[in-house]
Amino acid sequence: MGRPGALTVDRGPPGVALRAARDDDVALVRSWRNDPDAVRFSTSRRPVSELDHGRWFSAALVDPRVRLWVAEERGIPVGQVRLNLDGDAGVFSIAVAPAARGRGVGQQMLRIALAEVERDHLVAIVTAVTHPDNSASMRAFERVGFRRRGRSADGFIVFELRLG
């Protein structure tokens, strides 16, 4: 569950699997975070430096309050899912590699992550915040069951899903 171990394989299309993120994913995850769309729709609206990202990534890998997965499609890394745990709630953040977007990968990796959260009874409520112009992200969260709950102070759309 977000830790070194076997791949979680989902049989549904498009054949995406999640595995725990590893040290050597650091550059890949940064490249997805710093893709122009990801920067545009991020809360900071800024790319992250190699140094800052490296520190954050190393800490995230060992933080019990963070689950960080890399999605693979036939062994090729295609995205990442992060879940920040805070008591009974968890906040999702996702990114799909630019070349893999628009094929259902985002939805599929969210479905797999949600199944793991439910199986391990990690949290009862999951949320996500998306930029109001980020149609693909809003749609991906809605497609897997999230509902709009309102807006954050900085105008982002807040999504929520109650589990179990």
Q: Given the rule CB under 6 A, which residues bind ligand COA?
A: 37-38, 41, 93-96, 101-107, 128, 130, 134-137, 139-140, 143
Using CA atoms, how far apart are residues 144 and 161, in angstroms rounded to an integer?
9
Q: Which is nearer to ligand COA, 5 or 154 (CB)?
A: 154
Q: Which is nearer to ligand COA, 17 or 105 (CB)?
A: 105
Smallest distance from ligand COA to CB 78, Å: 8
Instruction: Tell me whether residue 104 is exposed, middle or buried, using C-beta atoms within 10 angstroms of its C-beta: 0 to 12, 13 to 18, 19 or more.
Output: middle
Using CA atoms, how far apart are residues 134 and 120, in angstroms rounded to an integer?
30
Using CA atoms, how far apart are residues 132 and 158, in angstroms rounded to an integer?
10
Q: Which is nearer to ligand COA, 6 or 158 (CB)?
A: 158
Smallest distance from ligand COA to CB 117, Å: 16
Smallest distance from ligand COA to CB 158, Å: 11
- Any bridge partners for residue 91, and if so which? 84, 127
